[in-house]
Amino acid sequence: MDEKTVENLQEAFAGESQANRKYLAFARQADKEGYSAAAKMFRAAAEAETIHAHSHLQAMNGIGSTEENLREGIEGETHEHENMYPPMLEAGEAAGERNAARSFRYAMEAEKVHARLYEEILNRLPDDGPMNLHLCTVCGNIETAIVEKCPICGAGEKAFREVE
Between CA 14 and CA 20 the distance in angstroms is 10
53 and 13 within one domain: yes
123 and 76 within one domain: yes
115 and 155 within one domain: no
18, 44, 59 - which closes a domain? 59
125 and 74 within one domain: yes
45 and 76 within one domain: no
Q: In this structure, what are the phi and psi dihedrals at residue 135, rounded to the nearest 5 degrees?
A: -100, 125
Please report, for the domain that includes residue 145, its CATH number: 2.20.28
Confidence of residue 75 (pLDDT cuts 50, 70, 90): very high
59, 79, 101 - which closes a domain? 59
What is the domain range of residue 112? 65-129
Q: Write down the H helix ranges in the chain.
A: 3-33, 36-59, 66-79, 85-94, 98-124
59, 88, 107 - which closes a domain? 59
Q: What is the reported pTM? A: 0.90
Phi-psi sector, 154: left (phi>0), alpha (psi -120 to 50), beta: left
Report the number of distinct structural domains present in the chain: 3
Between CA 70 and CA 117 the distance in angstroms is 10
Q: Which one-letter amino acid corresponds to residue 114? A: H
Q: Does the pLDDT value for residue 128 go beyond 90?
A: no
pLDDT for 134 equals: 98
Please report, for the domain that includes residue 17, its CATH number: 1.20.1260.10
Work out the mean pLDDT of the chain and round it to a whole number: 97
Q: Does the pLDDT value for residue 129 go beyond 90?
A: no
125 and 81 within one domain: yes
Q: Across residues 99-119, what is the average pLDDT?
A: 98
Between CA 64 and CA 70 the distance in angstroms is 9
Q: Across residues 11-21, what is the average pLDDT?
A: 98
54 and 12 within one domain: yes
